Amino acid sequence: MIYLLIAAFAYLLGSIPFGLVLTRLAGLGDIRAIGSGNIGATNVLRTGNKWLAAATLLLDGGKGWLAVAWIQGYGHGGVALAAIAVFLGHLFPLWLRFKGGKGVATGFGIFFALAWPLGAISCAAWLLTAVVFRFSSLAALVAYALAPVLAYFLTGSWKTVALALVIAALVYWKHRANIARLLRGEEPRIGKKAAA
């Protein structure tokens, strides 16, 4: 029963679509009708509102961190379950007919809770790639390709490595359209506003 409660709590927390909620509260309409249609921070940035994008980033990351840190605080063995459940909640939220975000910020939040150096270096890899190449999707692909390797060297825990591999695989799967656009040279750069 306790594992069911952990899974339900983490999934429902992950399912909160902060990008959608914040843009609606700001009077910007449905973020799913803007830009890529994604509910994450990169698409929120396409509205031109940097503060909303930053808030979405922090809240999406925060829910990943909270789900894992809360279970860790109880010293319970359901940490891996909480990590996967909160991540799946973001990717496949019940309230949005299971059409959610791509999990980049939420995954970073999970990494910070598992081992803060893993979260910090993964974020740094994302930031460096984003600054140099100006593609959010490419930055995510680089950061999540590195994450399992970093997990091994920083934690030595095969459970953490396995979690990083599962999360990275899901991030890559959610970015499959982005990968195709990158290969065709059609991927929009960071900060490009949605067409009016």
The one-digit pLDDT tens for each residue of the chain (196 residues) are 789 999 999 999 999 999 999 999 999 989 999 888 899 999 999 888 999 999 999 999 999 999 999 999 887 789 999 999 999 999 999 999 999 999 999 999 999 999 999 999 999 999 999 999 999 999 999 999 999 999 999 999 999 999 999 999 999 999 999 999 999 999 999 866 654 3
**143, 123 contact by CB (below 8 A):** yes
Q: Could you state, in order of their start, the residue ranges of all structural domains in the chain?
A: 2-184
